[in-house]
Structure 1
Amino acid sequence: MPLNAQQTLDTTDHDIIAELQRDGRTSIAQLARVVNLSASATAERVRRLTDGGVITGYSITVDAEALGYTVTAFVRLAYPSGNYRPFHDLVADMPEVIEAHHVTGADCFIIKVLARSMRDLERITGRLATLGGITTNVVYSSPVPARHITPAE
């Protein structure tokens, strides 16, 4: 099945997805107990969800401050050209860029960056500004952190 193709998911699939988002390290045996299936049936469903592109990978969540990043900011970039190759090349070499979204409106990209300090943020935004006009918004706090994805109704 092609990636991102619409699959018909049942409530057991939804439960598997929810549990794996809660704890991606859970074993198939534990997952099977949670969703009331055999381990082999659960493993087959996880394989089907993965092969179908619903589950795209597994990762951990880390505290950015614990890794030395005390500043989070969103940078809006008004990119003056339709040739996005320089943008892709620049951000590929910037580990501080943790998200980038091509958007509609006056800006072409919204970029989420992590910085060690305000001076570091100035360095990062300076590099991004070589591509076009930028507007930077520093995050005070995040009252709604990243959420798990639930099925669309």
Structure 2
Amino acid sequence: MELDDVDWKLLDLLQHDGRMTFTELAKRVSLSAPATTERVRRLEQAGIVTGYAAVVDPQRLGLPIEAIVRVKVRSLDTPRFRERVVALALVRDADHVTGDDCWLLRVVCRSMVELERFVEQAQRYGDTTTSLVFSSHVRNRPLTRAVVEGTAVD
């Protein structure tokens, strides 16, 4: 699907505030509300906009520990690892990656004891390396036209 300037503006606005009303979106892109609604629906139907979600702070919910756990899973254990480790609710992100480690997991925990239990569970399927997250400086940065067109690093 070919995107024009208005589509990119809509994507930018929605990535920053997915709860913005069609009326407010329309004002910001200088279109009527029905035309704006149609454009957003078209972006959704094309699979470019895949959903809307609330961003929740784990620390405020009693999950002060965040860690990145890299796991080198033995190939025959991958299905069981997916079922028994990746499926756990404390796993916020799970990426199957290339390189020395097969999996990159971002987890949140109530305590170091809980993190230790999680790592022990992951170690049943291979070697692990765990890093505690001190702070996150970029999270879910919106995708921009410059990134898509390859001009973001110029």
**The one of 99, 114, 130 aligned to 2:108:** 114
Give the structure with the higher percent helix.
2
Deviation at 1:145, TM superposition (A): 3.2
Deviation at 1:53, TM superposition (A): 0.5
Deviation at 1:146, TM superposition (A): 3.0
1:103 alignment partner AA? V
Which residue of the partner structure matches residue 24 of structure 1?
Answer: 18
1:34 alignment partner AA? R
Distance 1:80 1:145 in 2: 30
Which residue of the partner structure matches residue 143 of structure 2?
Answer: 149
State whether structure 2 residue 48 is matched by structure 1 residue 54: yes
State whether structure 2 residue 86 is matched by structure 1 residue 79: no
Which residue of the partner structure matches residue 152 of structure 2?
Answer: none
Q: Deviations over 1:49-81 (max 9, x none)?
A: 001010000001111100111111111110111
Q: Is the deviation greater in 77-86 or in 41-50?
A: 77-86
SS in 2 for 1:49: helix
1:49 alignment partner AA? L
Distance 1:17 1:48 in 2: 12
Which residue of the partner structure matches residue 89 of structure 2?
Answer: 95
Map of 1:132-143 to 2, 5 A cutoff? 132-143=126-137
Distance 2:70 2:87 in 1: 18
Structure 2 unaligned blocks of 5 or more = 150-154
SS in 2 for 1:72: strand
Superposition misfits of 4+ residues, deviation over 6 angstroms: none
Identity over aligned pairs, percent: 41
Q: TM-score, normalised by structure 2?
A: 0.90
Deviation at 1:143, TM superposition (A): 2.5
| RMSD (Å), alpha carbons | 1.3
Deviation at 1:93, TM superposition (A): 3.7
1:144 alignment partner AA? V
Which residue of the partner structure matches residue 70 of structure 1?
Answer: 64
Q: TM-score, normalised by structure 1?
A: 0.90
Q: Deviations over 1:89-142 (max 9, x none)?
A: 113541100101111111101011011111111011111111111110111112
Distance 1:46 1:62 in 2: 24
Distance 1:54 1:79 in 2: 32
Distance 2:30 2:52 in 1: 22
